[in-house]
Amino acid sequence: MPEGLSPIEVGKELEEHAKHGAAHVEDRASALLPIAEAVVLSIVAIVAAWSGFSAAKWSTKSSLDLAKASATRSKANRDYQEALTYTVGGATLFNAWFGAYISGKRHEAEVAARRFLPSYRVAWEAWMATHPFTNPNAPSGPASMPQYHAPGQAQSVVLDAQATAQYDDGEKAAEHGDDYIRATVILASVLFIIGISSHFPSRGIRIGLISLGVVLLIVAGIDIASLPGPP
CA dist 50 and 1 (Å) reads 74
Q: Do residues 188 and 59 make contact, with C-beta atoms less than 8 angstroms apart?
A: no
Q: Among candidates 167, 163, 125, which has minimal Cα distance to 142?
A: 125
Q: Do residues 211 and 193 make contact, with C-beta atoms less than 8 angstroms apart?
A: no
Average pLDDT, the chain: 86
How would DSSP label each residue in the chain? Answer: -PPPPPHHHHHHHHHHHHHHHHHHHHHHHHHHHHHHHHHHHHHHHHHHHHHHHHHHHHHHHHHHHHHHHHHHHHHHHHHHHHHHHHHHHHHHHHHHHHHHHHTT-HHHHHHHHHTS-HHHHHHHHHHHTT-TTT-TTS-SSGGGSTT---TTHHHHHHHHHHHHHHHHHHHHHHHHHHHHHHHHHHHHHHHHHHHHHTT---HHHHHHHHHHHHHHHHHHHHHHHTSPPP-
Q: Is residue 73 pLDDT above 60, yes or no?
A: yes
For the chain, give every domain's residue range. 40-225
Contacts of 163 (CB under 8 A, 6+ apart): 69, 70, 72, 73, 76
Stronger pLDDT, 33 or 113, i.e. the higher one: 113
End-to-end Cα spacing for the chain: 86
**Predicted local distance difference test score (pLDDT) of residue 15:** 55
Instruction: Please indicate, yes or no, whether the overall pTM of this predicted structure exceeds 0.85.
Output: no
- The confidence band for 52, taking pLDDT boundaries of 50, 70 and 90, is very high
Q: Among candidates 184, 121, 108, 181, which has minimal Cα distance to 150?
A: 121
Q: Is residue 201 pLDDT above 70, yes or no?
A: yes
**Predicted local distance difference test score (pLDDT) of residue 119:** 85
Segment 161-167 mean pLDDT: 96
